[in-house]
Amino acid sequence: MLTETYEDALKKLGGLLSKKSDLGKVAASKIKKLTVELEELDSNKSSDAVERIKSGFIHFKTHKYLFWCLLVRSDSRVSPTQILNFKPGEAFVVRNIANMVPPFDKTQHSGVGAALEFPVTALNGLMSIEDDAAPSKNVFIDNWVQIGTPAKNMEAVNVSLGNLLSYPFVKERVVKNKLALRGAHYDFVKGTFDLWELDFKTTPAFSFS
């Protein structure tokens, strides 16, 4: 167990350097590195995750345009915002399998189309539009959000959970307890995060005779 105080350590260091002045440059380099590490440690302790998120949204509101739209693969091992050190409000991220961009088609690939249309046209338009101006007609977004009509917020999540069961390979694994579906909703205004499980039950099949 270390019982030596930092005053004792500094005293010993001073005594060593007074005897071996050639170690001065090495000591200065190590002290500088230690100072940086201690400053980072102090910063991490005093920083508040909620405040960082709030500052990101303030940045988003006060800056007229987003500067980055990232199209990346849906790989759980890769976090593009962490790799590129983006804060909330600095980048719009679109993730899909193999980070592919399909050709423009109004009737197909509406998910990717809406994801691209939102940051390029709708989002910047909402940030810069005049109060008395009418928003432009979107090609993909309007049809895409109809999936959740008339549900909003948390209920829209439940609609998506229900729609997941329309995929046979998902439903099969849910029924066999090999896959669990959970919904989540984050309210960045109130700073609350809700998580819930899908209440899914099956009834045995029967026939009328």
Domain identity same for 78 and 111: yes
pLDDT in tens, 153-162: 788 898 899 8
Query: What is residue 2's three-state secondary structure?
Result: coil
Say yes or no: 137 and 59 in one domain.
yes
User: Whole-angstrom Cα distance, residue 70 to residue 91?
Assistant: 7
pLDDT reported for residue 48: 63
- Residue 95 resides in a domain: yes
Domain CATH for 122: 3.40.1050.10
Q: Residue 164 and residue 209: Cα distance in Å, rounded?
A: 33
**Whole-prediction pTM value?**
0.55
Q: Per-residue confidence at 128, pLDDT binned at 50, 70, 90?
A: very low
pLDDT band of residue 131 (cuts 50, 70, 90) is: very low
> How far from chain centre, in Å, is Cα 56?
12
Number of domains, the chain: 2
The binding site consists of: 75
More confident residue, 199 or 103: 103
Residues 162, 135: one domain?
no
Binding residue positions for Zn(2+): 75
Cβ–Cβ contacts within 10 Å for residue 118, how many? Answer: 21
Q: Which residue has the higher pLDDT, 59 or 186?
A: 186
Domain that holds residue 96: 50-149
